[in-house]
A and B are shown apart, each in its own frame.
Chain A
Amino acid sequence: MKVSQIAGFLGSGKTSALMKIASRLVEQGNRIAIIVNDVGEISIDSRFVEANGLEAKEISGGCICCQIAGSFAETLAKLHDSFNPNIVIVEPSGVAIPWGLKRAAEYSEVKADMIVEHAPVITLVDASRIDMLLKAVRRLVETQIREADVCFVNKVDVATPQGIATTEEFIRSINERAEIAHMSTTTGEGIDLACEVIVNRISPRYDDSMEEERLRSQYGKKGGN
């Protein structure tokens, strides 16, 4: 079962993007479940879920990485046993740490007969209000960008060229290795790319990365003997 994270702060357009992406993935023949953590102003519409043959769960009250890791793992295991999706898209709380979520997802392997693999971590950054976000929640936005594999500059249809440029520059200053792309759920720009990233690419497991880090700190090298 593949777990895909679509991160971003409140108002970044996560929920709309997630619904577009899920819908497209279902059209492509995937079996999709959605887990939303710490729901914001917009919940996943139950009619949308039903119409697309999805399964959706909400889990709230704290960060998936730590306080409710057990409940998250239980939810993943139950989804596997009851619905058996090939992809679970997680919309984490804006305060969740992507590595922590990976760890919690792998924890579900003790609860169901499955192996978890991860899609690259996607972070959405709202280019239409980047200045406000950098003033209000700069550290949280930085943390999400720092741990992203692919950053989508979102709402490019309404953002100014200056806002888009500032957002790209900010992302690059935090995370040089992240791929940067544009997204608009209004025009559909970036949705196919997001689906391709989720379906065809892999991000490292927490366990493997921890082992590599342990070896690095013990022997000063990556992996190996």
Chain B
Amino acid sequence: MNHMERAMAALTNEPVDHLPAYPIACGVNRNLLPGNVTYHEWCTNPKLFADAFVAGHKYYDFDFAIGLMDLSVMAGDLGAHVRMDEENTPFVDKHIIHSVEDYEKLEVPDIKKGRSGVILEGTKIFAEKLKGEVITAGFLEGPLLALTQTAGAERVFMDMFTNPSAVHAGLKTMTDYDAQMVEAFGKTGANGLCWDYLWANYSCLGDKEYHEFEGSDKYAAKLNRMTVENGMALCIHNCADMPHLDTQVKEFKPVIYSMAYYPLIPGSPSASEVIEKGYADNCLIGGNIDPQFFIRATPEKISKVTQDLCQEVKTALCKRGLNSRYCVASGCEVPPDIGTKKENIKAVVDTTKKYGVVKC
């Protein structure tokens, strides 16, 4: 099977030659480009952004390409100050919400400018270059994540209780911003759009609060619908320790759901639990190798971890009567650090090819 055949089969629960593999390697792929491209250059230059995904696909033999940049793109374009070191993931170091009134002052920026423009243009380039070779997707921060990046998470969580109308005002602007981005991503040629709805996490919000502040038809549900209406498959990434699986998988109905696993946190769902509880019945689940293994483990160690994950997944798929519907991936982005070992990324893909053959 080629990449497209394998990915399409896994998406539709058809038999696969082996499980698909996609360690979420994004910024780290810049190390494959000529000329020692820095993180700063990669995340501000659409051509370099795109070329890195193409190079990553060719070098590692990935089955997907998802255009994650970082989680400060929207906040930065809204006016928050983003600290951008040469080789680190950029992050907001100065929020722009300092009072309840400030939520009302947020305005959707010009999405053709700033790093919103970079990610849109870069996604268009790599979607064109990888067309027909792998499934491609853009990546976008959900409204609540974008608001917490802009205002500070603790503030937003307190304001949800003390000043909910202000938070809703902020979320409306974020949703309008996201809506413009969805329409623009729809024109890039990407096959899908991957949402980061980070706060669908029982460690932070219950079902009622999550529904009020993101899950409802005013916000995420509306944006999910728009994603499909704009010709893209709905994908969701959530690296929470205790994700809202019923809402995000059963209610939102994404075709791909990417998730992490925290073995030391009671209640964090393992791959086999997710499959056994039916979440892979209608959705391709991606997960769940610890991202820090890519820096700190040896290739032998990460191969063993991958082999164990393949075995766990295959057993659970067979028990559930499924043929595929699992992609071996990292639980969150492979650290874009210069210390990340290429051979570890390669080891995950190669081990999946060898041990990801599903025979029930």
In the complex, A107→B204 CA distance in Å?
A: 25
In the complex, A11→B176 CA distance in Å?
A: 32
B-contact bits for A195-208, CB 8 A (1 contact / 0 none) = 00000000000100
B322 at the interface (CB under 8 A from A): no
The verdict on A140 contacting B264 (CB below 8 Å), with A61-B92, A66-B332 known, is: no
The verdict on A60 contacting B205 (CB below 8 Å), with A107-B295, A107-B296, A137-B161 known, is: no
Flag if B264 contacts A58 (CB, 8 Å).
no
Flag if B157 contacts A137 (CB, 8 Å).
yes
Residue of B nearest to A11 (CB): B158
Flag if B88 contacts A95 (CB, 8 Å).
no
Query: Contacting chain A: which of B48-56, B148-156, B182-190, B281-289?
Result: B148-156
B89 at the interface (CB under 8 A from A): yes
Flag if B152 contacts A213 (CB, 8 Å).
no
Residues of A within 8 A of B132 (CB): none
Flag if B91 contacts A60 (CB, 8 Å).
yes
- Which of B202, B264, B335 contacts A210 (CB under 8 A)? B264
Flag if B158 contacts A60 (CB, 8 Å).
no
What interface size band does chain B fall in?
35 or more
Residues of B within 8 A of A94 (CB): 153-154, 157
Query: Contacting chain B: which of A68-76, A148-156, A159-167?
Result: A68-76
Flag if A93 contacts B153 (CB, 8 Å).
yes
A217 at the interface (CB under 8 A from B): yes
In the complex, A144→B30 CA distance in Å?
A: 37
Flag if A10 contacts B158 (CB, 8 Å).
yes
A38 at the interface (CB under 8 A from B): yes
A49 at the interface (CB under 8 A from B): no
Q: Report the tally of A-B residue pairs with Cβ distances under 8 A.
A: 122
- Which of B91, B154, B292 contacts A103 (CB under 8 A)? B292
Residue of B nearest to A99 (CB): B264
Q: How far is the CB of B165 from the nearest CB of chain A, in Å?
A: 15
Flag if B264 contacts A137 (CB, 8 Å).
no
| Interface positions of A from 41 to 89, Cβ below 8 Å from B | 58-63, 66-71, 73-74
Number of interface residues of A (CB under 8 A): 47
The verdict on A136 contacting B160 (CB below 8 Å), with A62-B149, A67-B89, A97-B203 known, is: yes
Flag if B85 contacts A107 (CB, 8 Å).
no
Q: How far is the CB of B307 from the nearest CB of chain A, in Å?
A: 12
Q: How far is the CB of B342 from the nearest CB of chain A, in Å?
A: 15
In the complex, A92→B93 CA distance in Å?
A: 14
In the complex, A10→B149 CA distance in Å?
A: 16
Flag if A107 contacts B91 (CB, 8 Å).
no
Residues of B within 8 A of A109 (CB): 296
Flag if A71 contacts B263 (CB, 8 Å).
no
B72 at the interface (CB under 8 A from A): yes
Q: How far is the CB of B34 from the nearest CB of chain A, in Å?
A: 23
Residues of B within 8 A of A213 (CB): 263-264
B82 at the interface (CB under 8 A from A): yes
B265 at the interface (CB under 8 A from A): yes
B61 at the interface (CB under 8 A from A): no
Flag if B206 contacts A139 (CB, 8 Å).
yes
| Interface positions of A from 102 to 148, Cβ below 8 Å from B | 103-104, 106-107, 109-111, 132, 135-137, 139-140, 143, 147
B355 at the interface (CB under 8 A from A): no
The verdict on A95 contacting B339 (CB below 8 Å), with A10-B158, A110-B296, A136-B158 known, is: no
Flag if A139 contacts B203 (CB, 8 Å).
yes
Residues of B within 8 A of A104 (CB): 292
Flag if B149 contacts A70 (CB, 8 Å).
no
B252 at the interface (CB under 8 A from A): no
Flag if B89 contacts A71 (CB, 8 Å).
yes
The verdict on A9 contacting B264 (CB below 8 Å), with A67-B71, A136-B161, A143-B203 known, is: no
B180 at the interface (CB under 8 A from A): no
A186 at the interface (CB under 8 A from B): no
Nearest 9 CB-CB pairings of A with B: A61-B92, A61-B91, A136-B161, A10-B154, A94-B154, A143-B203, A95-B153, A71-B88, A68-B91
11 new A-B contacts at CB < 8 Å, known A73-B337, A139-B202: A10-B158, A59-B91, A60-B92, A62-B92, A94-B153, A97-B262, A107-B295, A107-B296, A210-B290, A213-B263, A213-B264
Chain A residues within CB distance 8 Å of chain B? 9-11, 38-40, 58-63, 66-71, 73-74, 93-95, 97, 99-100, 103-104, 106-107, 109-111, 132, 135-137, 139-140, 143, 147, 206, 209-210, 213-214, 217
What would be 12 A-B contacts, judged by CB atoms less than 8 Å apart? A38-B154, A61-B82, A61-B93, A66-B332, A94-B157, A97-B241, A97-B262, A110-B339, A140-B204, A210-B264, A213-B264, A217-B263
